[in-house]
Amino acid sequence: MTGVADSFVLRDIRANDVARILKDWLQSYHRATEVRKIPNPVWYWWMHKIIESVMEDPTVLWMVAVPAEQPDLIAGWCCAQQFAGGNMLVHYTYVTRSYRRLGLASRMLAAAGVAADVGLMVTATTFAGVALLKSRGNEPVWNPFLLMGRAPILAPTSDVRADIRKELRRSARASRVGFDINETPKERE
């Protein structure tokens, strides 16, 4: 049986899609409960950098849904990638409001390899996204650190407090987690 979603074509991301996808992701996710309190200047600068890293990652699979007769009109998109042990990692899925409830998100997720029987982690979550995944039989685990970990690491400045840095290194060792980001070679000794 064919549905309305079948009148759409799924394709890979193109260069002329980047601005639209950035806008969709930045604006729609900033409205999510978990992150809406982040001030706009902070949100847009940092999240833009994070999304750039996702877009530049060749292991991320992109699905862009477009009407068959209008290949440049984006109805929705999703980005996902294989994760450890054959599990899947979904970074974000978005469908333009006028194309929602047509099965596009489910179709894109299925084409990306997100089945009900695979382990699933999501890096960005909204109420609608979790509801969609649960309706498909997925039980996603939200792990924002896999997305936020893509933020650019900034070198320490002269105003970094040495006492705080020393305590961070000590507590990191105590928790059995390495802490070598932003350490100088002398501090590593």
Please give the pLDDT value at position 186: 52
Look at residues 48, 44, 39, 40 and name the one whose alpha carbon lies nearest to residue 18.
48
Please give the pLDDT value at position 5: 64
DSSP-assigned letter for residue 186: H
Please give the pLDDT value at position 161: 62
Look at residues 114, 113, 93 and name the one whose alpha carbon lies nearest to residue 104.
93
Please give the pLDDT value at position 188: 44
Residue 13, classified by CB atoms within 10 Å of its CB into exposed (0-12), middle (13-18) or buried (19+), is: middle
Torsion, Cα of 32, 130, 63, 44 (10° steps): 20
Is the pTM higher than 0.85? no
Q: Please give the class, per CATH, of domain 4-148.
A: alpha beta
Delimit the domains of the chain by residue range: 4-148, 155-189
Q: Which two tokens stand for residue 104?
A: 């596009």
Please give the pLDDT value at position 70: 92
pLDDT in tens, the chain (189 residues): 456 667 899 999 988 899 899 999 999 999 887 788 888 888 888 888 899 889 888 999 999 999 999 989 999 999 999 887 778 899 999 999 999 999 999 999 999 988 877 778 888 888 788 788 888 888 888 888 888 888 877 655 555 566 666 665 655 554 444 433 344 445 444
